[in-house]
Amino acid sequence: MKHPRLKIVVVLAATLFILGGAAMVQSASATTQAAPAFKSSIHSIDATLKAQMVKSGSWKPADPIALGKLRLIEVSFWGFDGKVHTGKLIVNSTWAAKLCTVFHKLYDARFRIHHMQLIDNYGADDEKSMAADNTSGYNGRIVNGRPGVWSMHAYGLAVDINTVENPWVDGTDVSPANGRAYLDRKLVAPGMIHSGDVVVKAFQSIGWKWGGYWYGGKDYQHFSSNGK
Ligand SMILES: [Zn+2]
């Protein structure tokens, strides 16, 4: 053989060309693979769901809102696993459709949400739901630490997003406790909410306000219709 080296180089080049081509095809198919379309739906509280809410205690007849004024919304969201999931949230009927538009914006921005399950899955226990990094809306409960004062969540007029990455903080008190790692709000991590970001803007687009803008103690997970 006159040019064995040349032959090796040619074979190598051809192999690389084929491999490169395959890689290009693969990356092209990955980039052209369209994300599933955002889906949302709004449902009345049916008998099964009512039974679940009464059993967990998230709704009681003495609570400040009738079940007829609440809606179950189901929305697509991007999970921390990079996959699309369907979340469930109970909210005030007045805001159900508008809140679906908020979650549509978060979906388009591929904002990551860890879990979005009804508070009933946590026995209507806000502490358990927060510690599990659950995103939730309605819960017939008082403001934590303020007996007799109904939370905006008890009217379906508040939503908490990624509670661990966005804890409530007042002085040295942090809730949930496992959210302490996210007290440094300069940190950038999936699921965190920052001033003026896509999450704050999405809620602002329907007139809802962020607890991260409160004076004194801050509730980085909390959005509500009246800012309380
Ligand atoms: Zn809240």
CA of 37 relative to ligand 1 center, distance in Å? 28
Percent of the chain scored above 70 by pLDDT? 86
Among the listed residues 71, 103, 98, 102, the one whose alpha carbon sits nearest the alpha carbon of residue 86: 103
Identify the pLDDT of residue 34. 83
Identify the pLDDT of residue 5. 52
Judgement on whether residues 194 and 140 belong to the same structural domain of the protein = yes
Give all strands (DSSP E) within the chain, no chain letters.
40-44, 70-78, 84-92, 158-160, 168-170, 173-175, 209-210, 218-219, 222-224
CA of 184 relative to ligand 1 center, distance in Å? 20
CA of 41 relative to ligand 1 center, distance in Å? 23
Judgement on whether residues 2 and 82 belong to the same structural domain of the protein = no
Judgement on whether residues 51 and 81 belong to the same structural domain of the protein = yes
CA of 119 relative to ligand 1 center, distance in Å? 12
Whole-number Å distance between alpha carbons of 189 and 171: 23
Judgement on whether residues 19 and 122 belong to the same structural domain of the protein = no
Structural domain harbouring 12: 1-33
Residues with CB under 5 A from ligand 1 (ion): 158, 160, 222
Give all strands (DSSP E) within 23-175, no chain letters.
40-44, 70-78, 84-92, 158-160, 168-170, 173-175
In this structure, of 23-27, 190-194, 211-215, the range with the lowest mean pLDDT score is: 23-27
CA of 21 relative to ligand 1 center, distance in Å? 51
Question: Across-strand partners of 136?
Answer: 160
**pLDDT surpassing 80 at residue 43:** yes
Judgement on whether residues 12 and 89 belong to the same structural domain of the protein = no
- Tens of pLDDT, residues 51-93: 999 999 999 999 999 999 999 999 999 999 999 999 999 999 9
Q: In this structure, is the dihedral angle defined by the CA atoms of residues 65, 66, 69 and 75, taken in order, positive or negative? A: positive
- Tens of pLDDT, residues 129-157: 999 999 999 999 999 888 999 999 999 99
Among the listed residues 146, 112, 140, 115, the one whose alpha carbon sits nearest the alpha carbon of residue 126: 140
**pLDDT surpassing 60 at residue 25:** no
Query: In the chain, how many domains are there?
Result: 2
Judgement on whether residues 89 and 134 belong to the same structural domain of the protein = yes
Judgement on whether residues 126 and 197 belong to the same structural domain of the protein = yes
Judgement on whether residues 51 and 148 belong to the same structural domain of the protein = yes
Cα 14 to Cα 10, 23, 106: the distances in Å are 6, 14, 45
CA of 109 relative to ligand 1 center, distance in Å? 22
CA of 61 relative to ligand 1 center, distance in Å? 22
Whole-number Å distance between alpha carbons of 135 and 130: 8
CA of 40 relative to ligand 1 center, distance in Å? 22
CA of 130 relative to ligand 1 center, distance in Å? 10
CA of 219 relative to ligand 1 center, distance in Å? 7
Q: In this structure, is the dihedral angle defined by the CA atoms of residues 73, 125, 135 and 82, taken in order, positive or negative? A: negative
Residue 29 binned pLDDT confidence (cut-offs 50, 70, 90): very low
Judgement on whether residues 117 and 187 belong to the same structural domain of the protein = yes
Q: Is 197 helix (H, G, I), strand (E, B) or coil?
A: coil
Structure letter (DSSP) for residue 36 = P
Identify the pLDDT of residue 32. 54
CA of 32 relative to ligand 1 center, distance in Å? 38
Question: Exposure of 184 by Cβ count < 10 A (0-12 exposed, 13-18 middle, 19+ buried)?
Answer: exposed
Identify the pLDDT of residue 145. 83
Helices (H), the chain: 4-32, 47-56, 96-108, 126-131, 198-204
State the average pLDDT for the chain.
90
Judgement on whether residues 101 and 151 belong to the same structural domain of the protein = yes
172: left (phi over 0), alpha (psi -120 to 50) or beta: alpha
